[in-house]
Amino acid sequence: MSNPKPHIGVLALQGDFEAHIKMLEDVGAHGIAIRLPRHLDTIDGIIIPGGESTTIGKLMVEYGLHDILLRKIQEGVPVWGTCAGLILLSKETDNALLGQPLLASMNIRVRRNAFGSQRESFETDLKVPVLGEAPFHAFFIRGPLVERVGAGVEVLATLDNGTIVAVREGTMLGTAFHPEVAGDPRFHDYFLRIVRSVTL
């Protein structure tokens, strides 16, 4: 293998980036906090973490990162959005503010803050066939849901009622929950497999 320790950039402007960086180190990757365009020079994959999508989007533009991130994604650098990151990656959201900067790359429509007030935040065991038999314990923190998937999008996990909460489109991955706080490295491992498949 030509790239035994992939370099994964985690957008570190706001939100839950430190837990991702720690989890990446645990699964044998090098997690790099991305705050400046030059931090993206040598990365093999990108994680857009959870947080507040409107804030992350605005800061992405202010820090000069939006266009270069979009270019990397369009060039096929694998990207994974968790929660707010998934919102930023989706082509359509139910209530994107006028002019809200998005990366608009995945052929999905999401609904922000979709789990009404009672279930805004909850935990549940998900079946995720690509991760194997054992359920994945998922933490939803004011997360979105995926309302519609378009051509080329694979559904990786749903809630028991059929709500789509994890998707993949080529080298793009999206989860409506927070795998970085689960203490279970399988999703990070799965993303690394995608990264390795394009950097071999």
- Site membership for ligand GLN, residue 14 (CB under 6 A): no
Burial of 98 (0-12, 13-18, 19+ CB in 10 A): exposed
18 is catalytic: no
Residue from 11, 17, 53, 65 in contact with ligand GLN (CB under 6 A): 53
Distance CA 64, CA 51 (A): 19
Contacts with ligand GLN in 143-172 (CB under 6 A)?
Answer: 143
Nearer to ligand GLN, 181 or 194 (CB): 181
Distance CA 156, CA 172 (A): 12
* Active-site position among 83, 137, 147, 154: 83
- The size of the interface with ligand GLN (CB under 6 A), counted in residues, is 12
The DSSP letter of residue 186 is H
Stretch that binds ligand GLN, among 24-32, 35-43, 46-54, 98-106 (CB under 6 A): 46-54
- Site membership for ligand GLN, residue 111 (CB under 6 A): no
Three-class SS of residue 65?
A: coil
* Distances, alpha carbon 60 to alpha carbons 34, 42, 116, 117, in Å: 10, 19, 28, 29
188 is catalytic: no
Q: Which residues bind ligand GLN (CB under 6 A)?
A: 50-53, 83-84, 87, 112-113, 141-143
